[in-house]
Amino acid sequence: MLTSKQRAYLRGLSTKLETILIIGKGEINDNIIRQADTALTARELIKGRVLETSALSVRESAEKIAEECNADLVTVIGSKFVLYRQNPDDPKIVLPKTKNK
């Protein structure tokens, strides 16, 4: 579970990312999930886009992919979304620490 500070940090990093995952009228299938899973393992942070022809909304699509890939949904803006999953073997992104009370 990401904190708001960590989400803000990841949103900042995502502005430079290219969109690598595109969901169209073909909906979310095993191929899309596999592509997202592979990209999350390699990059940890990915940006996706949902075309207007999709039957699912952007949030519904992003939440479904995040759930299937065991990732966190960072943000949904317009037709784009950002997902994050830390690579346990080779972490590339260091998140800000949370304060313990």
- Selection from 71, 7, 10 nearest residue 41 by Cα: 71
pLDDT-based confidence at residue 101 (cuts at 50, 70, 90): low
Query: What is the percent of the chain where pLDDT is above 90?
Result: 84
- d(CA 70, CA 40) in angstroms, rounded, equals 10
Least confident range of 13-22, 26-35, 71-80: 26-35
Supply the pLDDT for residue 27.
79
Supply the pLDDT for residue 1.
83
pLDDT digits (tens, 9 = 90+) for 23-61: 998 779 999 999 999 999 999 999 999 999 998 999 999
Report yes or no: 19 and 78 within 8 Å, Cβ to Cβ.
no
